[in-house]
Amino acid sequence: MVIEALYQHFLQCTSVSTDTRKIEKDSIFFALKGDNFNGNEFAKHALESGAKYCVVDEEAYAIDERIILVENVLESLQQLAAFHRNQLGVPIIALTGSNGKTTTKELINAVLSKKYKTTATLGNLNNHIGVPLTLLGMNGNTEIGIVEMGANHPNEIEFLCTIANPDYGLITNFGKAHLEGFGSLEGVIKAKSELYDYLMAHKKTIFVNDNDATQVQQTLNYQHIHKFGSLTSSDTKLKIIDSQPYVTLNYNDSVIKSQLTGTYNFNNIAVAVAIGSYFKVASEQIISAIENYIPTNNRSQILKKGSNTIIMDAYNANPTSMMAALENFNQLQQGEKIIFLGDMFELGETAESEHQVIVDYLEKNVFGKVHLVGKNFYKTNVKKRNIEKFETFDHLKFKLQNNRITNSFLLIKGSRGMALERILELLS
């Protein structure tokens, strides 16, 4: 079926679904395949659950006139999203980066939604499936779209750009993330800069952090940029005032008091302010949006549990973000400090050395008790007695069940697969 014909079916539906457990009435279901499932098998169930149409790519399952047969369901989803994006014609802001993508996306959305009707990526659905779903979630009411793009291999950002066709873009930062796929920091820079390459090739606008030398270098001599930062050359000027424990900054002679911890969040806030300024959102509305944004989903949250205060940053981790979290925690003027760190994933051949770098930093700075969890941290060479290693979470769990933590300031940081938020259940 040609995309134009599929598009007419899509327009008759209320939403798009890829999971029969979450079917909405009159939605269109795309029967995607995975390593351990075949969505074609659920087409009949999707119709029975309320879907108006189903898209399949195996003829044996096209047993109803409401089931649409295509050559490849995933490719059809992606092509449909690109077609829909171009039919809408709304401005699209794309963002990628090694750290802080989702927080930055949510901050941008909070600011722009003060003036515009926005549609933004839900959660971190930022891959070859999530980006199309985000685009297909936009409709005639959408005035600005905000699309988060993630990648762990070269050419992925380039591909996502061909689907989303962004008018504006930004890279939060370049860090040591997904080194297993990118090979090195240089590989990360090259892969993430595929967004810059696309925007420059199409003469679109790039938001550049003036304080990030790599961003400046990657966009050198390009004309269509909006610079933000603390330099005199910045188009939107901001300056960090404090980060103890929340980031406070100066903007337009006003003070913005955020509810985000960590100096690393200054850049995430700054780009949201810059985009708001560029799109002529009133200063008081920008300030209100930032000050009222409360982080969720274990991202830079400050929580209370009994007599303990916790920085919960366990959504994900890589060498760059973990070091930034530790440096920030080191600067905070608090009482008894306790650290819980979980393994960093997708580091490939650098896993052993990168985990040792973290341990070396811990031993050179004054912290209270440090708990390292996971097979990679367990392999590190630890010399100080305040640092304890646990090969599995269950080993840590046994320790905490028999050693109560009270009146302490905790940092919890680790990759998503470590699920270190489970520590909260062990604190009274």
Helix ranges, 165-249 (H): 179-182, 185-192, 194-201, 213-218
Lowest model confidence (mean pLDDT) among 121-125, 222-226, 281-285? 121-125
pLDDT score of 296: 82
Instruction: From 171, 194, 190, 195, select the one nearest 179 (Cα to Cα).
Output: 190
- Using one digit for the tens of pLDDT, what is the confidence trace for 14-66? 999 999 999 999 999 999 998 889 999 999 999 999 999 999 999 999 999 99
**Alpha carbon distance, N-terminus to C-terminus of the chain:** 58
- Using one digit for the tens of pLDDT, what is the confidence trace for 395-428? 999 999 988 899 999 999 999 999 999 999 998 6
What is the three-class DSSP state of 96?
Answer: strand
What is the three-class DSSP state of 55?
Answer: strand
pLDDT score of 126: 95
Q: What's the whole-model pTM score?
A: 0.93
- Using one digit for the tens of pLDDT, what is the confidence trace for 371-388? 999 999 999 999 999 999
Which domains does the chain carry? Answer: 3-72 (3.40.1390.10), 89-291 (3.40.1190.10), 301-426 (3.90.190.20)
- Contact, 236 vs 277, CB < 8 A? yes
Q: Kindly tell me if the per-residue pLDDT of 174 is higher than 80.
A: yes
What DSSP string describes 119-171?
A: EE--TT--STTHHHHHHHT--TT-SEEEEE---SSTTHHHHHHHHH--SEEEE
- Contact, 94 vs 159, CB < 8 A? no
Cβ contacts of 157 within 8 Å, gap of 6 or more:
96, 149, 151, 191, 192, 194, 195, 198
The DSSP bridge pattern shows strands 225-229 and 205-209 to be: parallel
d(CA 184, CA 226): 29
- Using one digit for the tens of pLDDT, what is the confidence trace for 206-259? 999 999 999 999 999 999 999 999 888 899 999 999 878 899 999 999 999 999
d(CA 334, CA 136): 47
Q: Kindly tell me if the per-residue pLDDT of 273 is higher than 90.
A: yes
Instruction: From 99, 385, 146, 106, select the one nearest 262 (Cα to Cα).
Output: 99
- The two structure tokens encoding residue 256: 């913005």
Q: Say how many C-beta atoms besides its own lie within 10 A of residue 106's C-beta.
A: 23
- Using one digit for the tens of pLDDT, what is the confidence trace for 331-362? 887 779 999 999 999 999 999 999 999 999 99
- The two structure tokens encoding residue 405: 């933590």
- Using one digit for the tens of pLDDT, what is the confidence trace for 54-104? 999 999 999 999 999 999 999 999 999 999 999 999 999 999 999 999 999
pLDDT score of 428: 63
pLDDT score of 356: 98
- The two structure tokens encoding residue 89: 């014609």
Length of the chain: 428
- Rounded to the nearest integer, the mean pLDDT of the chain is 94
What is the three-class DSSP state of 384?
Answer: coil
pLDDT score of 1: 67
d(CA 88, CA 243): 41
